Amino acid sequence: MTSWLLALVPTYGVWLMAAATFLSCLALPVPCSILMLTAGGFAAAGDLDLYALLAGALAGAVAGDQTGYRLGALGGHPLLARIGKSPARAALIARAVAQMETRGALGIFLTRWLFAPVGPYANFAAGALGWSWARFTLWGVAGEAVWVGLYCGLGYGFAGNIQAATDYAGSLLGILAGGAAMAAAAWWLVNSLKQDKGKGA
């Protein structure tokens, strides 16, 4: 399936990326990262317009997030229970909820790109748990912009060398994950010190 989709990139680039990111954000198994890297390479070769590609991929991702959120809002907890019948999906839903409970809006931002497999389930969970639509949308769009920009940009920068771009993306995400963990720990420490100081006063 992946080879077939990749062959369609130069012909249907922008529309294909919009459809792929939309479906991916609804938890359908679409190889979006590879598609974006490939499309970025075609943009570097002049076969696709980079800005149109970025806009199409971002529009699809945001539309997918919004659809997932609305489905979650309509279906509520019964929808989460139905989706979570599979142990693997139940674990992803639990991770999504944990991200939102421990990190708040930052959790939505991070599940767009750093913890991308959790992202679609965070969409459903945010709607089902009654999250503010404006808050969800603001942080969701910001996170999707990072996801799309990172992968399309790496594909463009490596001019179609998918293996090198994939390796670099993995290393970069590892560094960013470490940085995010350190920032979260620092935030927790500062918050704890403030609370202790307040109690002492």
Q: Which pLDDT value is given to residue 72? A: 96
Q: Which two tokens stand for residue 188?
A: 């927790």
Q: How far apart are CA 172 and CA 166, in angstroms?
A: 10
Question: Looking at the chain, which runs of residues are DSSP E strands?
Answer: none
pLDDT tens digits, 166-188: 554 555 555 455 555 555 555 55
Q: Please, which residues have CB within 8 angstroms of residue 181's CB and are 6 or more apart in sequence?
A: none
Q: How far apart are CA 163 and CA 27, in angstroms?
A: 25
Query: Taking all residues of the chain, what is their mean pLDDT, rounded to a whole number?
Result: 85
Q: How far apart are CA 94 and CA 152, in angstroms?
A: 30
The amino acid at residue 102 is T
Helix, strand, coil percentages (3-state) for the chain, rounded to 5, are 85, 0, 15
Q: Give yes or no for residue 101 having a pLDDT over 70.
A: yes
